[in-house]
A = this chain, B = another copy of it.
Amino acid sequence: MKSIRVFAPATVGNLAVGYDILGVALESPGDEVVIKEGYRPGLFITEISGDSGKLTRDILKNTAGYAARQLLKKLGLEDMPLEMEIHKKMKMGTGLGSSAASAVAGVYGVNAFLDFPFTKKEILRFAVEGEQIADGAFHADNVAPSLLGGIVLIRSNEEMDIIELPVPENLCLAMVYPHIEILTSESRAILKDTVALNDFIGQTGNIAAFTSALYTSDYAMLGRSLQDLVIEPQRAQLIPDFYKLKDIAESAGALGFSISGAGPSMFALCDNMETAEKITMSNKRYLDSVGIASDCFTSGINTKGAYLIN
């Protein structure tokens, strides 16, 4: 019986300067999906672990199932007997692209099972459609880096026009996840639907400089440009002591610190792992001191994206 297992990584969406258009893949955590031959026509989800019973097995409503089905539909293989297991290895609702990782693992798993009829870029759209089931919005800032790895820029979500940006050698991340709940819908709802012209000018300067600095491995410029003038000031209120945590991270040498996706996770971009470890420890210590449970961990940048485990 043929069976394959794939991994798709967690991601940091927005990356401070690229709201809805920039994301980076972590080495871990991530989700795993198993695809194997089935006994009846069609794709079925037979097992889901690690979701505390929150996810549906209905492939039309499950991000991994839906993404995979979009690929099968494209090939006219909806009736191929297939079984899918989804193993959530990361919590949901943390701002680390959990639903995107599942969608990517689902479609990448089926593509791998079929011996790769499509390239990764060709299945990107299916994964985005899968994530849309959970998220409502059509944007690839988590899905694209989870699938392709590295730092991905989405020039246009509508046109699915993406660029894989270079990743300077020493970049790594300190992640801080306080155990509070923020709904993505709420996190989007509080955003004003306009941006002040001056902030627009500043933020276009920052994202262009950040992009340039990735090409030139200019860590100092990465540090000066990784400032979110638009979204972070509006969302910081959703995270207790956000500015205190940011201050700790920046004092410890972070290139920048901001909210991961819709939060509540936060990230510090660093130019060495020692600094990243210092930041996770001091932020963890601070959150402990104010009675907020948290997971704090470091990660390198995953530059290969989703991959076959066996």
Chain A residues packing against B (C-beta within 8 Å): 17-22, 153-157, 159, 161, 163, 165, 191-197, 200-212, 215, 221, 224-225, 230
Contact = CB atoms under 8 A, between A and B. Distances in A.
Contacts of A224: 155-156, 159, 161
A205 B165 contact: no
B209 A212 contact: no
A258 B225 CA distance: 27
Nearest to A153: B208
Most chain-B CB neighbours within 10 Å: which of A20, A157, A159, A163? A163
A268 B208 CA distance: 21
B230 A200 contact: yes
6 contacts: A21-B204, A21-B208, A157-B201, A163-B208, A163-B221, A211-B211
Given A195-B195, A197-B195, A205 B154 contact: yes
Nearest to A19: B201
A20 B156 CA distance: 22
Contact of A194 (B17, B163, B194, B225): B194
Contacts of A165: 212
Nearest to A209: B155
Nearest to A17: B204
Nearest to A210: B208
B19 A208 contact: no
Contacts of A194: 194-197
A209 B210 CA distance: 11
Contacts of A225: 155
A286 B193 CA distance: 40
A11 to B, nearest CB: 17
Contact of A205 (B156, B193, B202, B215): B156
A18 B203 CA distance: 10
Most chain-B CB neighbours within 10 Å: which of A18, A156, A192, A221? A156
A212 B19 contact: no
A20 B209 contact: no
A199 to B, nearest CB: 8
